[in-house]
Chains A and B, each alone.
Chain A
Amino acid sequence: MEILASDFFQRALIGGVLIGITAPLMGIFLVLRRLSMIGDTLSHVSIAGVALGFLVGVYPVAVGLLFAIIASFFIEKLRKTYKSYAELSIAIIMSGGVALASIMFTMGRGYNVNVNGYLFGSILTLNDTDLITIAVVTFVVLVAIRTQLKELFLLTFDEDAAAVSGLPVRFYNVMISVLTALVISASIKIVGALLVSALLTIPAACSLIIARSFRQSVITVVIIGELAVVAGLMIAGVWNLAPGGTIVLLLIAIMLILMLVKRGMRLGS
C-alpha cells in the first residue's frame, strides 16, 4: 500500500485526475457526432510521433502531440474529399500512423525504448514535464469548452442549423479535432495509446444510457471518467497491473452495471 504515497504514484494520480476530466469531455462530442474512431486514429498517429521523438532525442510526448495535430488536419481534409465515406479518412490515417510507428520503432531498435509504457500506459514513467504538459492541455480544453459549450452543443446536435446560424462550422470541426489530439497525446503515458480512445468513448456511452439532457451528459462523463481513472490507478498501483487496461476494464464494468440497472428499472416499472 505504500506505493500510493510514493512520488511517482502521486504524479500519476494528479495526471489521471486531469485526464479523467478532459478525455471524456472531448469524447462526448466525438461519440455524439459518430466520430468515435477519431480517438483511435489520433492515438496511433501519436505513437508514431513518440517513436520519432525517441529516434531523434526530442521530448516524445511533444512530437506525438505535433503528429496528432497534423493528423487531425488531414482527417478534416480527407473527410471533405470522401464526404459520403467519412470513415475512410479515419481508416487511412490510422493505418498510416501504425505503419509509420512500426518502421520508426524498428529503426530505433538500438535505443532502449520503453514501447510497452506508451502502448499500454505506465504510472512509473510519468515525470514533471509530462505533468506540466497534461496541466496545460487540461487548461486549454477547459477554457475552450467552458466558453464555447453552447455553440459546440448546436454543432453536435445539428451541424446544418449551426451553419445557418452563421457559426464558423469549419473552425469548430478543426477545434474539436485539435483539442482531441492534445488530450490523446497528453494521456498516452498514463492510459496507453492503444487504450486511450476507451477513455474518450466509454464514459460517453455510459451517459447515453442515463443522461436525459446535454448538461447531464457533460456532468455524467466527467464523474464516470474520474471514478474509473482514480480507482483504476489505485488498483493498478497496489496490484502492479497496467493502468490503462485496469481503467478501461473498470469503465466497461461501470457501463455494464448501468445497462443492468436501467434494464432492471424498466422491468420493475
Chain B
Amino acid sequence: MQNSTCHQDIITLEDVSFSYQNQAVHKGLNFSVKERDFIGLIGSNGAGKTTLLRMIVGLLKPESGTIRLFGQPVSQFKQWDRIGYVPQKNSFNPLFPATVREVVLSGLYSRNKLFRKITKADQKKCDDALHAMNIEDLAMKRIGELSGGQQQRVFLARALINNPSLLILDEPTVGIDSETQEGFFHMIKHMHQHHNITFLMVSHDMEMIRSYLGQQPAVESGKLKFYKKHSHELQDCVENDLTHSLRELRQQMESRREVVTVGDLS
C-alpha cells in the first residue's frame, strides 16, 4: 500500500482548436485531467472524440493551443511507456498472423527500448498480464480467432504490461455483448479505485459512463461531453501490484458466478 497525496496534472488542454476540411471540430477547448481522475468522453459520430484522443497522444497536431502530458508539451514528451492505449476493436486486421502472446508483448516495445531484446523479465510481465486478464489459455491462439470480448482483454493486457500511469481507451466495448461489456467495465472501475492509474475513456455507452461518473458532465464543448470522477472522491490508498489485485478480482468474479449458477440450479 502507498499513499497517493500528490495529484499532478496528467493531461492539460489549453485553448485547443482543430478543424477538418475548414470545419471546426474543436474550438478553444480547455480541460485538465489530474492524477487518478477518470474521464469519460461521450459524443455523437463526428463530434471529434477520436480526433481529440489522437491529438492527446501526438498523432495529430492541434491548429492552435497547447496539449501537455505529465506537464510537458506533447511534442517534447518522451515517457511513452507511462501510457497504455486500448484501440477500437475494429482497428486491426483480423487475418493478421499474430498470437495473443506476441500482441501482449508488443506493449513493451517503446522508443526507450529500441535495440533491446526481449528478456526473461519481459516474458514474466507478459505472463502476469495474461493471467490478470484471464487469457493465459489463449496465449498461443491467433488474435483474429478470438471473440470481441477476448480481443479487448488482450488489448487491455497489452496496455497494462508496462504498469501505465495513464490508460487511454478508445471505445473499447464497441461490438461486444452486454454481459462482456459489464465485466470489462467492472474491471476498469476496479483498476481505477485500487490503483494509481488515470483513465481517459471514449465510449458510446452513456448509461455505463453515467452510472460511474455521475449524471452531469463536468465540461461540455460542442457535441462533446466530459464526465469526470475526481481523484479526491477515491480512497487515498492504492495497491502497487496490479496483476495481483486483478487476480483477486478475477477470483471474486468467478466465485460470484459460481454462487449465481448454484442459485439458478436450486
Contacts and interface: CB of A to CB of B under 8 A. Distances in A.
B16 to A, nearest CB: 18
Contact of A161 (B85, B111, B114, B142): B85
Interface string A151-180: 101101110111111111000000000000
Contacts of A161: 85, 87, 106, 158
B122 to A, nearest CB: 10
Given A158-B92, A163-B59, A168 B111 contact: yes
Interface in B135-150: 140, 142
A212 B92 contact: no
Contacts of A160: 54, 57, 59, 85, 87, 91
A168 B110 CA distance: 10
Instruction: Determine the main DSSP class of A at the interface with B.
Output: helix
B30 interface: no
B85 to A, nearest CB: 4
Interface size class, chain A: 20 to 34
Nearest to B92: A158
Nearest to A169: B59
A214 interface: yes
Nearest to B143: A157
Interface string A136-160: 0000000000011011011011101
B112 interface: yes
A147 B109 CA distance: 12
A207 B109 contact: no
A163 B58 CA distance: 8
Given A153-B102, A161-B87, A165-B111, A217 B97 contact: yes
Interface string B156-168: 0010000000001
Contacts, number: 89
A153 B57 CA distance: 20
Contact of B106 (A32, A157, A166, A213): A157
Interface size class, chain B: 35 or more
A157 B103 contact: yes
Contacts of A150: 105-106, 109, 118
B253 to A, nearest CB: 27
A147 B81 CA distance: 20
B83 interface: yes
A104 B146 CA distance: 53
B91 A158 contact: yes
A211 interface: yes
B92 A157 contact: yes
Quick one: which of A154, A164, A208, A212 has the most chain B CB within 10 A? A164
B93 interface: yes
B109 A165 contact: yes
Contacts of A167: 109-111, 114
A214 B80 contact: no
Contacts of A156: 96
A120 B197 CA distance: 59
Nearest to B112: A166
B265 interface: no
A81 interface: no
A157 B98 contact: yes
B78 interface: yes
Contacts of A168: 111
16 contacts: A147-B115, A150-B109, A150-B118, A153-B106, A157-B92, A157-B103, A160-B57, A160-B85, A161-B158, A164-B59, A165-B81, A165-B110, A166-B81, A166-B111, A213-B142, A214-B102
